Structure 1
Amino acid sequence: MLDAPTQIQPPAEIVPAKKLGAKVAGLYAAPSDDFQTRPVDRLELGFNGIPGDFHGGSTRRSGGREPWYPRGTEIRNERQVSIVAFDELATIAGLMGLAEIKPEWIGANLVIDGLPNLSMLPSATLLFFAGGVTLKIDAQNGPCRLSGRSIAENAGMADQDAGSLLFPRVAKRLRGLVAWVEKPGVVSAGEEISVRVPEQWIYKA
């Protein structure tokens, strides 16, 4: 007689998947020679991202975020779309002693409203836009000195060097997300978004 199989216990606590709702609160695009963005009414998205955008393309060059590669190595572009939230930008502004930080100052393409703790959405979260576009979240967008310098200049900070250094310190886990286009199409201002958060767990070796 065969013994009954022993139930396999998961190696970590599994947090179930969930569905959330959100809305497009702002759209922005950048000219090919400048990372700062400009407000637009709609974004045309292809498999290469936003056509003509500073961060468009199917590949990109590695930088300081990828120290495991020589700087300038051609790699997959998982940073096609930069996503932020107004409430998190307001928090960062307060920590920097500023009245506001505009999304375009830090090269954002998309502002999403209705999701608490936007920057904490896990990798592989899917954003289904009512118009048919799907974006897949890659990871948090780490704050850098380039964005800090842009904020300091646009906000007219007296000490712009200090401002460029302050932003990376206070904006960690508040600076939003980067995503890539899984299904192309057009995103319009005010569009509804269905958010599918995947199962989550903490890996332990």
Structure 2
Amino acid sequence: MADDGKQEREHGFPDGLVRTAGRRIKGTVERVLVTATPADFSTHDVDRLPLTFEGIAGGRHAGFTRRSGGREPWYPRGTEMVNERQISLLSVEELEVVAGRMDLPRVDVAWIGGNILVSGIPHFSLVPPRTRLVFGDGAVLRVDGDNVPCRIAGKGIAAQYPDRAGLDLLFPQKARNRRGLVAFVEKPGIIRPGETVTAHIPEHWLYPKD
């Protein structure tokens, strides 16, 4: 068996560098959803989700580019930039965790603007950037990273529970690292509920402090 530590030292890598080998994990598409109009935030179920290189035609986050906002403080707000946030994906298991943390019966993917709900991929929000999500009918999404929870999504939940005050602010606190992923279309296609999704997770490294 190869000595990974020796190989890393021979290549000039520092001692203690943490490497995670690439692997594949299969899950299932449970639901696919779209917005009724580009101005909407909440989504509704459809029986098929056609994807182009611009994302979801007519969707809130469609386009090759987008305008920067509060998530990109390094740019003046409104700067045109590449759109790496075309698609929002969440998992059944993590939404159950979020609902439990918020002491709610459930949190529905549609309330917080999700486009694809999957099951069976552990720690879905922690899937690393560069991961390819390959769907059964051939569509491929490339993961940009985890989706940081915000108050806008919290308001979508609060609207469903009008008797509970403060849910809009509670959601960003309780959904951290459980809000799912954002991705862009690498290969267009159609995604349908019930098909397989395979996460092709690349080899990745924990970047050293020194």
TM range (shorter): over 0.9
Deviation at 1:9, TM superposition (A): 4.6
Q: Which residue identity is paired with 2:57? A: P
**8 A contact 1:56–1:80 mirrored in 2:** yes
Select which of 32, 35, 55 maps to 1:27: 32
Alignment partners' CA distance in 2, 1:7 and 1:101:
50
**8 A contact 1:35–1:55 mirrored in 2:** no
Alignment partners' CA distance in 2, 1:81 and 1:67:
22
Give every structure 1 segment of 4 or more consecutive aligned residues whose post-TM-superposition deviation is greater than 3 Å: none
Q: Which residue identity is paired with 2:144? A: D
Q: 1:18-57 counterparts in 2 under 5 A?
A: 18-30=23-35, 31-57=37-63
Q: Which residue identity is paired with 2:205? A: W
1:183 aligned residue: 187
157 and 144 in structure 1: CA distance in 2 versus 1, 3 angstrom threshold: farther
Q: Describe the superposition over 1:41-87 as per-residue Cα deviations: whole angstroms up to 9, x where unpaired.
A: 11000000000011111111111111111111111111100000111
2:21 aligned residue: 16
Q: Which residue identity is paired with 1:27? A: V
Alignment partners' CA distance in 1, 2:205 and 2:107:
33
Deviation at 1:7, TM superposition (A): 2.7
* Structure 2: tracts of 5 or more residues without a match: 1-8
Deviation at 1:156, TM superposition (A): 2.5
1:67 aligned residue: 73
Aligned length: 198
Alignment partners' CA distance in 1, 2:122 and 2:164:
33
User: Is 2:107 the partner of 1:101?
Assistant: yes
RMSD: 1.3
Alignment partners' CA distance in 2, 1:116 and 1:149:
27
**8 A contact 1:157–1:163 mirrored in 2:** no
Q: Which residue identity is paired with 1:15? A: T
Q: 1:183-202 counterparts in 2 under 5 A?
A: 183-202=187-206
Alignment partners' CA distance in 2, 1:148 and 1:21:
30
2:138 aligned residue: 132
| Structure 2 residue matching 1:51: 3-state secondary structure | coil
48 and 157 in structure 1: CA distance in 2 versus 1, 3 angstrom threshold: farther
Q: Which residue identity is paired with 1:125? A: T
